[in-house]
Structure 1
Amino acid sequence: MSAWLPIELPLDETPLGRVLVWLLSVLLFAAITAAAVALAAENRLRELRLEPTVITIALPPATDRAQAERRTREVLRLLDDQPGLSWARPLSGEELNALVEPWMSAPASGDDLVLPQLIDLAFDADAAPDLSALAAALQDVVPGTTIGETGALKETRRDIEIFVRAAAVVVCAAMLLLAALASGALTRIQLRLHDDEIDLLRQMGARDARILRQFRRHALDKVLKAAFVATTLAIGLLAAGVVARTWWPPMAAALPGPSPLDWAALALVPVLGVVLVVLAVQIAAGQGLHHSAR
């Protein structure tokens, strides 16, 4: 123990004192990791809010070229009146063949197999298109027209990211709370284990405030070591994720890079853990000393 933090009670000589560092290290590491997941989900939500809503409209196969062009003009005329529409583009025959080529041994051609007409359209990121109303309007113009579920997929992705963010925040808060509760519980056990030493210090004239400072300093020493271990492990894990984003493109799409603000937010997690643990030990030791003095 440092010279400027004299501890007269043998708090480090019990197994509980030695286990406390590793217990807090695991809990703080889990809290930092959960906070990183929450920040990643928040970044993904921010990117989703900036993405346009892309939808594919499928028109039923036309009997001839003239009918196909007429249907396309009518649908595009309807889409021009849609609020928030960024662009609309009919797919060419070559693009349609490219879409079905992975599932067919030869391009779709001839009169025996006719592909539906497809129109891709995108709405602005801040627009909220009413897909049900759009589908009904398309049915009035060209019966049998269907709308792809790309827009619904975006909503599903948004809901998943919101759930992941909320779950990660709950886990982070639970780990910090568990660290505080565990520290308080271990402090109460140490009070009982060192009851004789505490009585001896009182007989030698030590006030409860002096004994309380020893518990608080002991907890601060342990939780600072635990915070260092947890932060080091978390930085290593996050650094591995950053490297993986560079070498594996799918990881770059699924895991946005942390910003300086994200790093600052993550740094607050172990700090908050230290404060909560020391506060929990202060309360537990204070209550225990108060009861034992009666």
Structure 2
Amino acid sequence: MSGICDGRVVVVTGAGRGLGRAHALAYAAEGARLVVNDLGVGLDGTPGPGGPAARVADEIRAAGGEAVAHGDDIATAEGAASLVRAALEAYGRLDTLVTNAGFLRDRMLVNLDEDDWDAVVRVHLKGHFLPLQHAAAHWRAETKAGRTPVARVVTTSSGAGLLGSVGQANYSAAKAGIVALTLVAAAELARYGVQVNAIAPAARTRMTERTFAETMTAPGAGFDAMAPENVSPLVVWLGSAASAGVTGRVFEAEGGRITVMEGWRPGPSADKGARWDPAEAGETVRALLAAAEPPGPVYGAR
């Protein structure tokens, strides 16, 4: 196998199913050597049937590629450290990290248990931070040894993290945090040859099958617009050396559409040059809002 990732070593978390599996297979098709991570839990993070990482690794090898499976919990320091070690022990290097692992525990805000909040924030946000931290430490050491890498990180946010989603306060907060983590990492790690970008994908997976219950076909295109494989080409390109110069960006990907998302920017502003009184501040805010672009609607809001 050869392609734009020929020879690169790529780690994908949550790669046993859905988007992660599609990413892993797409990287392998472009010549990458894979570490396929998946803990094998159910949709809500509870123990489920094991072995999805091994099955995907087997699938890659059966197609002529190279892959090893990794089943540790990457939301722990030891699990994240062992993830990086798995790449180094198997292949002697690490070039690209794709952080994708996650699950859902949806509740309306007033019914959201603390455990459900903690579990979802842990797997999504901590599960992004720890692998990124350990990979970054490796790339920093490489740079200090005079071997500056051509390293790439692709994180996974969501439209819920950009606009919010009714019934998903925990998931939305975690996915918004991933965007901020991505921006900080892009700024801090550039000196070590690392580019960091985020995607906000829309695809049919275990997590979204109720949202995208029906197969959607783009008019005249003849393809399943909600297939996770549609997102993977962008992820593969961002994880390749071909994406040189692209960092600190957020992309939406759905079907055949790629969108560069433009985040918080200053809008209408007023400066009195002195302290406002409350009524005066309120009048000013209403005038500013009248001149501002309306925010995008929260998913699921009526």
TM bracket, shorter-chain basis = under 0.3
**TM-score, structure 1 normalization:** 0.26
Structure with the larger helix share: 1
Q: Which has the larger radius of gyration?
A: 1
Structure with the larger strand share: 2
**TM-score, structure 2 normalization:** 0.26
